[in-house]
Amino acid sequence: MAKTEKKIKKKGPIRTEAIIPILILVVLFGLYFKYYFDSHLRYGIAYGATQAHGAEVNIDRLKTDFLAPSLSIYNIQITDKSDPEFNIVQVGEVRLQLLWDALLRGKFVIPESSILKIQSHSKRKRRGRILPPPAKSSAKGQVEQAAETTISQLKQKNESNILADVFSVAGGTDVKDQLKKMENEIQSQQKIKKLGEELKVKEKQWKQKIDELPDESELKQLVKKVEGLKIDTSNPKALQASLKSVDAVYKEARAKYKTIEGAKKSLSADIKKYEDEYKSLENLVKADIQGITEKLNIPSLDPKEINKMLLGNLVAAQLGNLYRYKQAAEKYMPTKTAEERKAEKEEQALTPTERAEGIDFRFPKKKSYPQFWLQKAQISSSSKQGQAGDLSGTLANLTNNPKHLGLPATFDFKGGFPHQKILDVEGNITVDHTTDSPEEKGFVKVGSFPVEKNVLTRSDDVELGYNKANGSSKIEFLMKNKSLQLSSQSLFSDIDYYSSAKKPKVAELLAGVTKGLDNLDLNVRARGSWDDLSLNINSNLGQKLAAAIKAQISGEIAKARAQVKNHIEGLINGEKSKLKGQLAKIEQQLGVSLQSREAAIDSVKKSVDEKKKSATQKEKKKIEKKAKDKLKNLIKGIKF
Amino acid sequence: MTVILKQIFQLLKLLNSETGTHQIAWGVALGFVLGMTPVFSLQTVLVILLLLFLRVQIGAALLAAFGFKFIAYLLDPVFHEVGHAVLSNAGLKPTFTTLYNMPIVPWTRFYNTIVMGSGVLSLALTPVVFFASLFLIKKYRKNVYEKIRHSKIMKAIKATGFYKLYMKYEEFYG
């Protein structure tokens, strides 16, 4: 039987059988990155951008290269939220070159990139999807709340429709009946009634208080008592006793004086209080007239108010956009707190930091990148490339950690979009979040752009707006911490106005105003913090409209206003003078009673003073005589 | 409890198999390094790659890593002291600064006292663990395993139906 020996092959130290599965794994990874990764990344970026923007963002194609790390994104379309048939911006190509050195540190640094073929307001193939607005957080920051209030107030102004009120009054309105119904709402009348009732109660209280005060006969008796006192100057002891009895009367008189003086002061304070209340009635009457006038929709013809009403929405949109960009800049380029900065300093100073397990040593960083840093992006676009615009510019130092980088982000651009008729575009924006006081400043200028249909005012009776116009605009802004400085100048020309009104008189007026208004200017100046924004909106439209209305219907408005004023004053004036009389009467009556008591107590004081003075004089003379006699005797006694 | 028992049985099975002694010893040594490392870092990946590419006993490595993890927890204060001494050494500061500023290297978290301490000690003790394992495996196979194999209890167990069933299972599924 042949013995077959199995020869066991000696295996080497390398696990060769593991190489094939690992190779398969590597190949699978390679294939995934070659054929699927780009499309998955494209989907991920488009999804993330859609969520961040709130409207559909599309990316046609995306290409990555791992050997020379780079990313190219083709045809990015960002849907315009206000008009989803169009894109706000469409970018033909974005090329980003990444830095290996940073990637190996887990950071994304883009030293050079290009943004090409930019189109503005391009038509979408299909309508863009708009996401539902996110649930508003109840815990809003103060600045956020203030900004929203300012913007919504402007919108409210726009919705207040002063023009409709103007023309309603122009048709002739009798407000008498309405005024009668509103009598209960007149605050000043209620105040007068309340004051009158209060005064009656006070008067009683005062009479009672004065009656309790020492009366004149009581005070006259005190005078007699003082006069009846005999001052014994025969010896110092008797003199002292006499002066003591005078002092006792004086003290009694002084106590009574204090009571009278206190009552006088108290009465004066009360009188003053009611006099002030009376004076404040004037303002209350003014406020009543204003309030009732507003309730009756009787408009003012202030051009500023008309401007705010007509153009408030345009300005609100400008401010809203600016604020949204500021919010985005703060979100993606946060300013670090002092504590975070302190921690960073400690990092440089080789100070160990306590950790849950062990201690992390920090060594000086010679080269460190922020997590994301777009060093420079060259914007280049030419209208020769299809529908793209002529645009050139630079976007620099965009980072998620500006303080670490220490350089502000800048964006400057110049050019236009001839296909969209947007010409002479120029801008320079600096977002400086490198310090504790974040600052955003810059300007954007558009030489010419088409303006779509805009409704300036719309009501049942009247509508005014324009179908199209040609605009030019320049906005300069500076936002620092909570404050804003904005100045914008816009000019609209070739305006195709439209207007309609139920009343022929009004229609004629509007036609007349718009006919003579070839160019519409809009100048806005905003200063202050978001919660206290001083806003000045100036436009020739408001001025011209106010002037035209004034010329034609100011009489009607003035008549209605006068009606309100007269009605309120008629109601108030009688009550007011009655109250004044009541106050004067109290002052006179109570004042006189107090005056007589005051005079009486003065006479007590005078008699006491005289008595004391005469006693003192007598004693003084006596002492002088004694001294002289003693001096004489002394001289006689001295013999030379 | 079942998991721990399973691990113990696996270890016994490994020891009682005909697998090379050096492979088990290297497995224990690499498992020792894995167990001592406090966090998942670049060096952990490196050790796992070594386990995959070198012919070492992965089971032994995993069991050793599991076991040494508990010991390492108790040794953390020692690691901290050693790591602190190394990292605060003035002479090494320029080297560490260079490493700190290099790409990839900071992912090892060498700047942490426990990572550094456990790294230094585990590297220094790897040869010791390897030779000690080698010695103990040989001793076990020669003395303990042979005694158990020839004991009456073992013979009785081998005669049971349950053992035969287990052997059948082993034959099919390993």
pLDDT tens, residue by residue, A88-145: 888 989 999 998 888 888 888 999 899 888 887 788 889 999 988 766 555 555 556 6
Q: Which tokens is B5 given?
A: 């028992």
Mutate to test the interface with A, among B111, B115, B118 (most CBs of A within 10 A): B111
Packing angle of the helix pair A303-332, A142-159 (nearest 10 deg):
150
Given A11, A14, A368, which is nearest B53 (Cβ)?
A14
In chain A, what residues touch B101 (CB-CB under 8 Å)?
Answer: 363, 365-368
Give residue A48's pLDDT: 93
Residue A4 has pLDDT above 50, yes or no: no
> Which residues lie closer than 8 Å to A230 by C-beta, 6 or more apart?
A242
Any alpha helices (H) in A171-295, and if so which ranges? 176-181, 187-212, 216-228, 236-295
Contact check, Cβ <8 Å, A358/B79: yes
Residue reference for tokens 């699927």: A36
Number of neighbouring beta carbons within 10 Å of residue B159? 9
Mean pLDDT on A187-207: 80
In this structure, what DSSP letter does residue A147 have? Answer: H
Mean pLDDT of A209-216: 76
Distance of CA A261 to the CA centre of its chain: 50
Residues of A in contact with B117 (CB under 8 A): 358
Which residue among A13, A359, A364 sits closest to B55, beta carbon to beta carbon?
A13
The torsion angles phi and psi of A142, rounded to 5 degrees, stand at: -60, -40
Q: Please state the three-class secondary structure of A188-221 as a single string.
A: HHHHHHHHHHHHHHHHHHHHHHHHHCCCHHHHHH
Beta strand spans in A87-176 (E): 87-97, 108-110, 112-120
| Model confidence band, residue A403 (pLDDT cutoffs 50, 70, 90) | confident
The number of C-beta contacts closer than 8 angstroms across A and B is: 66
Rounded to two decimals, the ipTM of the complex is 0.71
Question: Is B160 within the bounds of a domain?
Answer: no
Euclidean distance between CA atoms A35 and A51, whole angstroms? 26
All residues of chain B having their beta carbon less than 8 Å from the beta carbon of residue A364 are 97, 100
Contact residues, chain A, for B69 at CB < 8 Å: none
Which of A104, A358, A363 has its CB closest to that of B103?
A104
* CB pair distance less than 8 Å for A106 and B87: no
How many Cα atoms occupy the beta-carbon half-sphere of A558 within 13 Å? 7
B113 and A358 in contact by Cβ < 8 A?
yes
Write the CA distances from A478 to A326, A410, A475, integer angstroms.
11, 14, 10
Q: At what angle do helices A162-170 and A540-637 cross, to 10 degrees?
A: 100
Q: Looking at the predicted structure, is the pLDDT value of residue A210 above 70?
A: yes
Q: Is B84 on the interface with A (CB under 8 A)?
A: yes
Adjacent-strand bridge partners of A393: A379, A413
**Which stretches of chain B are DSSP H helices?**
2-16, 21-36, 42-53, 58-87, 93-100, 113-139, 146-149, 152-159, 161-173
Helices in A110-186 by DSSP H: which ranges?
142-159, 162-170, 176-181
Q: Note whether B52 contacts A15, CB cutoff 8 Å.
A: yes
DSSP run (H or E) holding A458: strand A454-458
**Cross-chain Cβ contact B55/A361 below 8 Å:** no
Residue A414: strand pairing partners: A392, A426
Which residues in chain A have their CB less than 8 angstroms from residue B103's CB? 101, 104-105
Domain for residue B92, yes or no?
A: yes
Q: Closest residue of A to B112, CA-based?
A: A360
Cα A83 to Cα A53, A134, A425, A482, distances in angstroms? 14, 19, 22, 31
Helices A540-637 & A187-212, crossing angle to 10 degrees?
Answer: 10
Q: Considering the domain boundaries, does residue B167 fall inside one? A: no
Whether A361 and B111 lie within 8 Å, measured CB to CB: yes
Quote the CA–CA distance of B35 and B28 in Å, as a whole number.
10
Asked if A342 and A363 count as a contact pair (C-beta separation under 8 A), the reply is no
Q: Is residue B153 part of a domain?
A: no
Average pLDDT taken over every residue of chain A: 78
Report the gap between the CA of B143 and the closest CA in chain A (Å): 27
pLDDT at residue B126, as a whole number: 95
What residues of A are in contact with residue B88 (Cβ under 8 Å)? Answer: 361
∠ CA B20-B25-B30, nearest 5°, is 125
Give dist(CA A31, CA B64) in Å, integer: 36
If contacts are CB pairs under 8 Å, which of residues 325-364 in chain A contact chain B? 355, 357-364
Query: Where does residue A638 rank: exposed (0-12), middle (13-18), buried (19+ CB within 10 A)?
Result: exposed
Residue A234, pLDDT > 60, answer yes
**In angstroms, how far is the first alpha carbon of chain B from the final one?**
23
Given B79, B111, B112, which is nearest A363 (Cβ)?
A: B111
Burial of A283 (0-12, 13-18, 19+ CB in 10 A): exposed
Query: CA-CA distance, A179 to A173, in Å (whole number)?
Result: 12
The verdict on B139 touching A (C-beta cutoff 8 Å) is no
Poorest-confidence range of A21-30, A192-201, A547-556? A547-556
CB distance A416 to A391 below 8 Å: yes
Confidence of residue A300 (pLDDT cuts 50, 70, 90): low
Residue B121 lies in a domain: yes
Name chain B contacts of A14, Cβ cutoff 8 Å.
53-55
User: Does A12 sit within 8 Å of B112, measured CB to CB?
Assistant: no
> Pseudo-torsion of CA B114, B117, B121, B123, nearest 10°?
90
Lowest-confidence region among A460-464, B83-87, B88-92, B132-136: A460-464
pLDDT at B122: 93
- Shortest Cα–Cα distance, B104 to chain A (Å): 5
- pLDDT tens digits along A344-364: 555 544 444 433 467 888 887
Q: Does A635 touch chain B (CB under 8 A)?
A: no
CA-based nearest distance B8→chain A, Å: 26
Mean pLDDT of A441-448: 93
A158, A164, A169, A175: CA torsion to nearest 10: -70
pLDDT score for A349: 47
Task: Tally Cβ neighbours within 10 Å of residue A278.
Answer: 16
* Dihedral of the alpha carbons of A233, A238, A242, A247, in degrees to the nearest 10: 120
Average pLDDT over residues A268-284: 81
CB contact under 8 A, A18 and B84: no
- Cβ–Cβ < 8 Å for A447, A423: yes
CA-derived radius of gyration, chain B: 20
Q: With beta carbons less than 8 A apart as the criterion, state whether A408 and A437 touch.
A: no
**CA gap A171, A377 in Å, rounded:** 61
Q: What is the largest CA-CA distance in chain B?
A: 68
Give the integer Cα–Cα distance in Å for A252 and A604: 10
**B101 touching A (Cβ < 8 Å):** yes
With beta carbons under 8 A apart, name residues in chain B contacting A23.
Answer: none
Task: Give just the sign of the alpha carbon dihedral A364, A367, A373, A376.
Answer: positive
pLDDT at residue A213 tops 70: yes
Q: Do B54 and A13 touch (CB under 8 A)?
A: yes
Whole-angstrom distance, CA of residue B16 vs CA of residue B1 = 22
Q: What distance lies between CA A213 and its chain's CA centroid?
A: 56
Which tokens is A103 given? 């990637």
Task: Look at strands A353-354 and A108-110 and give their pairing.
Answer: unpaired
- In this structure, what token pair is assigned to residue A539? 């436009």
Amino acid at residue number A140: K
Nearest to B55 among A15, A104, A360 (CB): A15
List the single residue in B with minimal CA-CA distance to A11: B55
| B11 falls within a domain | yes
Residue A634: pLDDT band with limits 50, 70, 90: confident
| Residues A105, B79: C-beta atoms closer than 8 Å | no
Q: Is residue B168 situated within a structural domain?
A: no
Q: Answer for the pair B38, B106: CB distance below 8 angstroms, yes or no.
A: no
pLDDT of residue B128: 96
Burial class (CB in 10 A: 0-12, 13-18, 19+), A487: middle
Closest CA to A147 of A525, A437, A529, A476: A529
> How many residues in total does chain A contain?
640
In chain A, % of residues over pLDDT 90: 16
End-to-end CA distance of chain A: 183
Q: What are the chain B neighbours of A360 within 8 Å (beta carbons)? A: 111-113
Domain that includes residue B119, residue range: 2-145
Mutate to test the interface with B, among A9, A11, A348, A359 (most CBs of B within 10 A): A359
pLDDT digits (tens, 9 = 90+) for A594-611: 777 777 778 777 877 887
> Taking CB atoms and an 8 Å cutoff, what residues of chain B touch A362?
111
Nearest CA to CA, how far is A352 from chain B (Å)? Answer: 10
Number of domains in chain B: 1
B107 located within any domain: yes
Contact (CB<8Å) B52/A18? yes
Question: What does the pLDDT read at residue A46?
Answer: 95
Length of chain B in terms of residues written: 174
Tokens describing residue B142: 């020669």
